[in-house]
Protein backbone atom coordinates (compact mmCIF):
# COMPACT_ATOMS: atom_id res chain seq x y z
CA UNK A 1 0.00 0.00 0.00
CA UNK A 2 1.54 3.34 -1.05
CA UNK A 3 1.69 6.50 1.04
CA UNK A 4 -1.38 7.98 -0.64
CA UNK A 5 -3.50 4.97 0.31
CA UNK A 6 -2.20 4.99 3.88
CA UNK A 7 -3.07 8.69 4.12
CA UNK A 8 -6.60 7.99 2.89
CA UNK A 9 -6.87 5.20 5.41
CA UNK A 10 -5.76 7.60 8.15
CA UNK A 11 -8.47 10.01 7.03
CA UNK A 12 -11.13 7.27 7.12
CA UNK A 13 -10.02 6.24 10.61
CA UNK A 14 -10.27 9.85 11.72
CA UNK A 15 -13.79 10.21 10.32
CA UNK A 16 -14.79 7.00 12.10
CA UNK A 17 -13.26 8.27 15.36
CA UNK A 18 -15.28 11.48 15.21
CA UNK A 19 -18.54 9.76 14.24
CA UNK A 20 -18.29 6.96 16.78
CA UNK A 21 -17.28 9.22 19.66
CA UNK A 22 -20.01 11.77 18.98
CA UNK A 23 -22.60 8.97 19.10
CA UNK A 24 -20.99 7.44 22.19
CA UNK A 25 -20.76 10.83 23.87
CA UNK A 26 -24.42 11.70 23.29
CA UNK A 27 -25.54 8.25 24.47
CA UNK A 28 -23.33 8.33 27.57
CA UNK A 29 -24.40 11.82 28.64
CA UNK A 30 -28.08 10.98 28.09
CA UNK A 31 -27.89 7.69 29.98
CA UNK A 32 -25.72 9.22 32.72
CA UNK A 33 -28.11 12.12 33.24
CA UNK A 34 -31.11 9.79 33.41
CA UNK A 35 -29.35 7.51 35.92
CA UNK A 36 -27.77 10.36 37.88
CA UNK A 37 -24.34 8.90 37.11
CA UNK A 38 -21.49 11.43 37.07
CA UNK A 39 -19.14 8.69 35.85
CA UNK A 40 -21.18 8.11 32.72
CA UNK A 41 -21.56 11.84 32.07
CA UNK A 42 -17.79 12.19 32.44
CA UNK A 43 -17.28 9.28 30.07
CA UNK A 44 -19.48 11.08 27.55
CA UNK A 45 -17.35 14.21 27.86
CA UNK A 46 -14.29 12.03 27.28
CA UNK A 47 -15.87 10.89 24.02
CA UNK A 48 -16.42 14.49 22.91
CA UNK A 49 -12.77 15.36 23.57
CA UNK A 50 -11.72 12.23 21.68
CA UNK A 51 -13.83 13.40 18.73
CA UNK A 52 -11.95 16.72 18.86
CA UNK A 53 -8.68 14.81 18.53
CA UNK A 54 -10.13 12.96 15.53
CA UNK A 55 -11.13 16.32 14.04
CA UNK A 56 -7.52 17.50 14.31
CA UNK A 57 -6.44 14.42 12.38
CA UNK A 58 -9.05 15.08 9.68
CA UNK A 59 -7.64 18.58 9.25
CA UNK A 60 -4.09 17.24 9.14
CA UNK A 61 -4.66 14.55 6.51
CA UNK A 62 -7.06 16.57 4.36
CA UNK A 63 -4.27 19.14 4.20
CA UNK A 64 -2.06 16.58 2.46
CA UNK A 65 -0.70 14.07 4.92
CA UNK A 66 1.08 11.98 2.30
CA UNK A 67 3.59 14.66 1.33
CA UNK A 68 7.00 14.93 2.94
CA UNK A 69 8.33 18.47 2.88
CA UNK A 70 8.88 21.45 5.16
CA UNK A 71 5.23 22.55 4.90
CA UNK A 72 3.96 19.08 5.81
CA UNK A 73 6.36 18.93 8.75
CA UNK A 74 5.06 22.31 9.96
CA UNK A 75 1.47 21.02 9.74
CA UNK A 76 2.51 17.83 11.51
CA UNK A 77 4.05 19.79 14.39
CA UNK A 78 0.95 21.93 14.72
CA UNK A 79 -1.37 18.91 14.64
CA UNK A 80 0.75 17.12 17.25
CA UNK A 81 0.54 20.11 19.60
CA UNK A 82 -3.22 20.37 19.16
CA UNK A 83 -3.60 16.69 19.99
CA UNK A 84 -1.41 17.26 23.06
CA UNK A 85 -3.69 20.08 24.23
CA UNK A 86 -6.69 17.76 23.99
CA UNK A 87 -4.86 15.37 26.33
CA UNK A 88 -4.50 18.18 28.88
CA UNK A 89 -8.12 19.29 28.51
CA UNK A 90 -9.39 15.75 29.04
CA UNK A 91 -6.95 15.09 31.90
CA UNK A 92 -7.99 18.26 33.74
CA UNK A 93 -11.67 17.39 33.46
CA UNK A 94 -11.15 13.81 34.65
CA UNK A 95 -8.98 14.90 37.58
CA UNK A 96 -11.40 17.59 38.79
CA UNK A 97 -14.38 15.24 38.58
CA UNK A 98 -12.52 12.43 40.38
CA UNK A 99 -11.44 14.70 43.23
CA UNK A 100 -14.92 16.15 43.53
CA UNK A 101 -16.44 12.68 43.79
CA UNK A 102 -13.94 11.66 46.47
CA UNK A 103 -14.56 14.86 48.43
CA UNK A 104 -18.35 14.62 48.31
CA UNK A 105 -18.61 10.84 48.57
CA UNK A 106 -20.83 10.75 45.50
CA UNK A 107 -21.32 7.18 44.31
CA UNK A 108 -21.68 6.23 40.65
CA UNK A 109 -24.96 4.44 39.94
CA UNK A 110 -25.22 1.22 37.99
CA UNK A 111 -27.05 1.21 34.69
CA UNK A 112 -27.51 -1.65 32.24
CA UNK A 113 -27.29 0.79 29.33
CA UNK A 114 -24.19 2.42 30.81
CA UNK A 115 -22.46 -0.92 31.28
CA UNK A 116 -23.35 -1.86 27.69
CA UNK A 117 -21.82 1.40 26.39
CA UNK A 118 -18.59 0.75 28.31
CA UNK A 119 -18.39 -2.85 27.07
CA UNK A 120 -18.89 -1.79 23.42
CA UNK A 121 -16.17 0.82 23.84
CA UNK A 122 -13.82 -1.83 25.27
CA UNK A 123 -14.35 -3.82 22.07
CA UNK A 124 -14.12 -0.98 19.55
CA UNK A 125 -11.28 1.10 21.03
CA UNK A 126 -8.53 -1.58 20.99
CA UNK A 127 -9.29 -2.35 17.32
CA UNK A 128 -9.24 1.35 16.45
CA UNK A 129 -6.00 1.85 18.38
CA UNK A 130 -4.25 -0.97 16.50
CA UNK A 131 -5.46 0.36 13.13
CA UNK A 132 -4.29 3.91 13.94
CA UNK A 133 -0.94 2.76 15.31
CA UNK A 134 -0.20 0.65 12.25
CA UNK A 135 -1.20 3.46 9.91
CA UNK A 136 0.86 5.99 11.88
CA UNK A 137 3.93 3.75 11.63
CA UNK A 138 3.49 3.35 7.87
CA UNK A 139 3.16 7.11 7.41
CA UNK A 140 5.79 8.09 9.99
CA UNK A 141 3.11 10.32 11.55
CA UNK A 142 3.66 11.13 15.20
CA UNK A 143 0.47 13.16 15.40
CA UNK A 144 -1.57 10.11 14.38
CA UNK A 145 0.44 8.01 16.83
CA UNK A 146 -0.43 10.51 19.58
CA UNK A 147 -4.07 10.31 18.51
CA UNK A 148 -3.84 6.52 18.74
CA UNK A 149 -2.59 6.88 22.31
CA UNK A 150 -5.62 9.02 23.09
CA UNK A 151 -7.81 6.23 21.71
CA UNK A 152 -5.97 3.88 24.08
CA UNK A 153 -6.65 6.30 26.93
CA UNK A 154 -10.33 6.21 26.01
CA UNK A 155 -10.19 2.44 26.36
CA UNK A 156 -8.70 2.89 29.82
CA UNK A 157 -11.50 5.26 30.71
CA UNK A 158 -14.04 2.68 29.52
CA UNK A 159 -12.45 0.05 31.75
CA UNK A 160 -12.40 2.45 34.68
CA UNK A 161 -16.04 3.40 34.29
CA UNK A 162 -17.06 -0.23 33.94
CA UNK A 163 -14.97 -1.29 36.94
CA UNK A 164 -16.35 1.54 39.05
CA UNK A 165 -19.94 0.68 38.22
CA UNK A 166 -19.50 -3.05 38.76
CA UNK A 167 -17.45 -2.79 41.96
CA UNK A 168 -19.86 -0.26 43.43
CA UNK A 169 -22.84 -2.46 42.55
CA UNK A 170 -21.34 -5.78 43.63
CA UNK A 171 -19.15 -4.76 46.60
CA UNK A 172 -20.17 -1.22 47.47
CA UNK A 173 -16.60 -0.11 46.68
CA UNK A 174 -17.50 3.28 45.19
CA UNK A 175 -13.97 4.69 45.57
CA UNK A 176 -12.77 2.49 42.68
CA UNK A 177 -14.23 4.81 40.06
CA UNK A 178 -12.47 8.08 41.13
CA UNK A 179 -9.24 6.19 41.92
CA UNK A 180 -9.03 4.80 38.38
CA UNK A 181 -9.96 8.21 36.96
CA UNK A 182 -7.07 9.89 38.79
CA UNK A 183 -4.63 7.32 37.38
CA UNK A 184 -5.98 7.95 33.88
CA UNK A 185 -5.67 11.72 34.35
CA UNK A 186 -1.98 11.35 35.28
CA UNK A 187 -1.42 9.27 32.15
CA UNK A 188 -3.18 11.85 29.99
CA UNK A 189 -1.05 14.70 31.37
CA UNK A 190 2.09 12.66 30.68
CA UNK A 191 1.08 11.85 27.11
CA UNK A 192 -0.02 15.43 26.46
CA UNK A 193 3.33 16.78 27.58
CA UNK A 194 5.20 14.30 25.39
CA UNK A 195 3.10 15.22 22.36
CA UNK A 196 3.64 18.95 22.78
CA UNK A 197 7.40 18.88 23.47
CA UNK A 198 8.27 16.32 20.73
CA UNK A 199 11.08 17.40 18.43
CA UNK A 200 11.26 16.55 14.72
CA UNK A 201 8.10 14.80 13.58
CA UNK A 202 8.54 14.09 9.87
CA UNK A 203 9.57 10.41 9.73
CA UNK A 204 10.40 10.25 6.00
- Cβ proximity of 109 and 36 under 8 Å: yes
Mean pLDDT, residues 111-120 taken together: 86
Confidence of residue 191 (pLDDT cuts 50, 70, 90): confident
- For 70-114, the pLDDT digits (tens) are 666 677 677 778 778 887 887 888 789 889 888 988 877 777 788
Q: What pLDDT does 70 receive?
A: 67
- Cβ proximity of 106 and 39 under 8 Å: no
Which is higher by pLDDT, 55 or 201?
A: 55
Q: What pLDDT does 203 receive?
A: 36
In this prediction, what percent of the chain has a pLDDT beyond 70?
A: 89
CA dist 136 and 113 (Å) reads: 34
Mean pLDDT, residues 36-50 taken together: 77
Q: What pLDDT does 123 receive?
A: 93
End-to-end C-alpha distance for the chain, whole angstroms: 16
Q: What pLDDT does 175 receive?
A: 85
User: How high is the mean pLDDT of the chain?
Assistant: 80
Whether the pLDDT of residue 57 is over 80: the answer is no
Mean pLDDT, residues 60-65 taken together: 66
Please tell me what DSSP assigns to residue 69. Answer: S
Name the range with the highest mean pLDDT among 107-111, 126-130, 153-157: 126-130
Which residues does 85 contact at the CB level (< 8 Å), separation at least 6? 192, 196
Amino acid sequence: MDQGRWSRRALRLSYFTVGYNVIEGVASVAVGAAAGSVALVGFGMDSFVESLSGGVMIWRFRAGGDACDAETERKERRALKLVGYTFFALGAYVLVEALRKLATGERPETSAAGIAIAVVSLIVMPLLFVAKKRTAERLGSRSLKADAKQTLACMGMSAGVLAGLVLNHALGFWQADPAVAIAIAVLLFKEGREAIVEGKVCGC
